[in-house]
Structures are given as structure tokens and as C-alpha cells.
Copies of this chain bind each other. A is one copy, B any other.
Amino acid sequence: MVDVIAFDGDDTLWHNETVFSLTQEKFRDLLCAYAPQAEIDAALLATETRNLRLFGYGIKGFTLSMIESAIELTRGRVSATDIHTMIEAGKDMLEHPVELLDGVRETVEWAARDRRAMVITKGDLFDQESKLARSGLADLLWKVEIVSEKDPDTYRRILEIHEIDPGGFLMVGNSVKSDILPVLEAGGRAVHIPYEITWAHEHVEPDPAATFPTLEHIRQLPELVKDGLP
């Protein structure tokens, strides 16, 4: 019954939030003389959220938001050397090796065998293409969609373009907000596999009306699909 299995990229197929977290640690260390840790984190999140409207998701926007936050938090006293360190940290993130989560390779191979496997991922076009190329998964994928936002209309458009029957479409991802709820609204099905960290911006309060299966590990996906989704 499930004909197309679509995987989210960041924190579903490969580690992403851990890379952001490590950079955010460096950012805190650079600014520790100016403000307590919680204040630094709150300021960065506020800047990121405010800038999303202009920057969209991704590392380049995050790097600009780090610099902006640093200037604000230090009231202009941050040194050019420290700002240079932030740019280098952004570049390190862009060059960071793509590390697949455990079990991903086998699960995508399984999905591609008797069904069509695709990736629907959000973020910078250039960066996401580069990650996909480096993931070694590209040859297994029927389609790849890199989108700027994951809302119900995005999923409806993708289903339409690729002539996918919503009833046979299953999305697999770590974000309830981006990978689960909008897919259910577009008539598809979705499986939630939480990652160890959730970016504050992606956090949603659980909606008791929305029901979807949650797995601990991507390796459990074939069995869930074989047994029939609830």
C-alpha cells in the first residue's frame, strides 16, 4: 500500500543539529566574558527567528545571525578576530563530513528496492545538494526535493508534480512540525523518528488529535510498513 517513501534529510538521514550545537558551544565560549550562557542562547535564538523571514533556513543565515547577535550582546565590543572565528565556524559547518545516522543506508536501500525512495529536505539549495552528493545515497533516490519551507502546500505541490497518490505516500522525519503534521494535512502518512536534539524553532506542542506512529530507530521502519501502518 505504501508506494513512495520520502525521507527528511537533516537529523533523519544525517546528523545536523549536533553540528549546529557544537558551533553554538564555540559561540558561547567566545562571548562568555560578556553574558551568561542562557542569555547568549536566548539572544541567538531570537535573532535567528527574527531573521528567518529574510534568510530562510541554513548555515549561511545562521552564521550571519551569530555575528549579529554577538554585536548586539557585546554592544559593539566584540573583536573582528572573534567575528572572523564565527565565519570560519560557519565554513567548518558547511564542510563538515556528512555522517549518516545508524541504520540509514540499509533502510534507504530497503525503501528503494520494492518502492520508490525520495528525499524532501529544507534549507540552502547549495548546501543540501552538497550534502546529498556526499551522503552516498543519491543513486538510491527516485527524486530529491529541496524546499524552502515544509508546509501542507509544499507537500501538495510535490505530490502533484510527481504524480504521487497521497494514500500511498509515507514521509519519515524527525520534526513533527515539518515532516509529520503538514503531511497528514496534505493527505499523506507520516512516521516520526525523533532525533536526540530538536532545534527550539521546530518544537511544537503535541496535538492530541494528530495520531502518527513514532519509532525509536530508523531500522524499525521496514517492519512497521510490512505490518501495515496504523
| Chain A interface (Cβ < 8 Å from any Cβ of B) | 51, 54-58, 60-61, 63-64, 67-68, 70-71, 74, 76-81, 83-84, 87, 90-91, 94-95, 124-127, 129, 146-148
Contacts and interface: CB of A to CB of B under 8 A. Distances in A.
Contacts of A80: 70-71, 74, 76-80, 83
Contacts of A146: 125
12 contacts: A55-B60, A55-B94, A56-B125, A56-B126, A56-B127, A58-B60, A60-B60, A67-B67, A68-B87, A70-B80, A80-B83, A83-B83
B95 A54 contact: yes
Nearest to A52: B126
A34 to B, nearest CB: 12
Copies of this protein in the assembly total: 2
Contacts of A81: 71, 76
Contacts of A68: 84, 87
Contacts of A83: 67, 71, 80, 83
Contact of A124 (B78, B125, B147): B125
A84 B70 CA distance: 10
A163 to B, nearest CB: 13
